[in-house]
Amino acid sequence: MTAEAQQPVESLFPISLHSLRLDTVLTFELYLKHASGKQVLYRAKDIPFTEEVRSSLIANGVAELYVPRSQRDDYFEYASHEIKAVVADPKMPVVEKAQAVYKVTTSIMEDLFVTPKSSERIRQAKTAIHHTVNFMLENQEATRSLMFLTHHDYYTYTHSVNVTIFSTALAQRVFETETETPDFRLLGEGFLLHDIGKSTIPASIINKPGKLTDAEWALMRTHPEAGRRILKETKTLNEIIEKIVLQHHERMDGKGYPFGLKGDEIEPAARVCAIADVFDAITTVRSYRDPLPTFEALKVMRNDMGNHFDWNYFDQFVVLFRKE
């Protein structure tokens, strides 16, 4: 381990060792966390990341490193592009690839919810999700690895990535046979950004343990339109993203929001997103209730939620969780 320099803990953020590619020059500093909690500078920037360095980190049981927050633009720019090399690496096991892809995408999204007006970050999120979707399209194993490693914490950024994974897996099943196959990468952008409007809602409402008041609920229901506004202002909106962002809370029976659209009036990709969205929400840990296990969640969605979902799509969604 090299030069020791102290950095206050709150100014660093964690990154996965898997997101660093061999023989690339890292344009950001790397810190390590010691068992005592002390964080020390491990590598200065602008030097290559070699096999020797990686092996020594693995030998020391290091899976996570830290980058100064002030250098996060450099890290995200690097990581969003490097996912492509991770996905293409023939020597890397699929599960490791899935972990790297998941970690990078969630950390970009975490930052995006803090800086939703950053068109730069939205662009990086889109790049990351393009590579993620390519990885999923490549083989079944990739899709399953990602589906089964989703974390069910209550953060909106984790939820955004989970919904993208579940929605993309379902979209592949239901749209694959259509005469005009959609651009799954574009759909992926919409799934990933579906809740970006929640960045305008106070965290106290988003994370409130228990029921929302009528006023809080009314505010919460503004997030699809707020999302469209953000994407329009950052010039990152297109037709399909707009439909997913605006319509993911519409219901087949017309009881959804913001417009109360019914059945076919709802964009197919938004119907897909609605299923993944509710599934991820009810399988997620909340302080006031236990998360539902997968099959319990599917049963509740089928039996207790009226005609919320497109049942043809829902049947295909259930198939995704079948054990092989």
State the DSSP H helix or E strand holding residue 26, giving kind and residue range, or none if neither: strand 24-26
Stretch that binds Fe ion, among 66-74, 91-99, 191-199, 207-215 (CB under 5 A): 191-199
Residue-wise DSSP of 39-68: EEEEE-SSEEE-HHHHHHHHHTT--EEEEE
**Distant-in-sequence, close-in-space partners of 161: CB < 8 Å, separation ≥ 6:** 102, 105, 106, 109, 150, 192
Residue-wise DSSP of 202-256: -HHHHT-SSPPPHHHHHHHTTHHHHHHHHHHHTT---HHHHHHHHHTT--TTS--
How far apart are the C-alpha atoms of 143 and 146, rounded to whole Å?
5
Tokens at 220, concatenated: 């919460």
Asked if 184 and 101 touch (Cβ cutoff 8 Å), the reply is no
Stretch that binds Fe ion, among 28-36, 74-82, 114-122, 187-195 (CB under 5 A): 187-195
Among 14, 189, 174, 169, smallest CA distance to 103 is for 14
How far apart are the C-alpha atoms of 53 and 239, rounded to whole Å?
45
**Min CB(45)–Fe ion separation in Å:** 36
250 binds Fe ion (CB under 5 A): no
**Min CB(276)–Fe ion separation in Å:** 8
**Min CB(156)–Fe ion separation in Å:** 8
**Contacting residue, 277, 279, 282, 320, with Fe ion by CB under 5 A:** 277
Stretch that binds Fe ion, among 58-66, 114-122, 142-150, 269-277 (CB under 5 A): 269-277
**Min CB(284)–Fe ion separation in Å:** 10
The pattern of x and - marking residues 132 through 171 that bind Fe ion according to CB under 5 A reads ----------------------------------------
**Nearer to Fe ion among residue 111 and residue 195 (C-beta):** 195
**Nearer to Fe ion among residue 100 and residue 270 (C-beta):** 270
**Contacting residue, 29, 82, 195, 310, with Fe ion by CB under 5 A:** 195
**Nearer to Fe ion among residue 146 and residue 282 (C-beta):** 282
**Min CB(279)–Fe ion separation in Å:** 10
Tokens at 206, concatenated: 């988003």
**Nearer to Fe ion among residue 74 and residue 225 (C-beta):** 225
Q: How many positions of this chain bind Fe ion (CB under 5 A)?
A: 2
**Distant-in-sequence, close-in-space partners of 86: CB < 8 Å, separation ≥ 6:** 18, 19, 21, 92, 97, 100, 101, 131
**Min CB(34)–Fe ion separation in Å:** 38
- On the CB side of 283, CA atoms within 13 Å amount to 24
Residue reference for tokens 């344009």: 27
**Nearer to Fe ion among residue 250 and residue 277 (C-beta):** 277
**Min CB(88)–Fe ion separation in Å:** 30
The pattern of x and - marking residues 35 through 64 that bind Fe ion according to CB under 5 A reads ------------------------------
Residue numbers of the site for Fe ion (CB under 5 A)? 195, 277
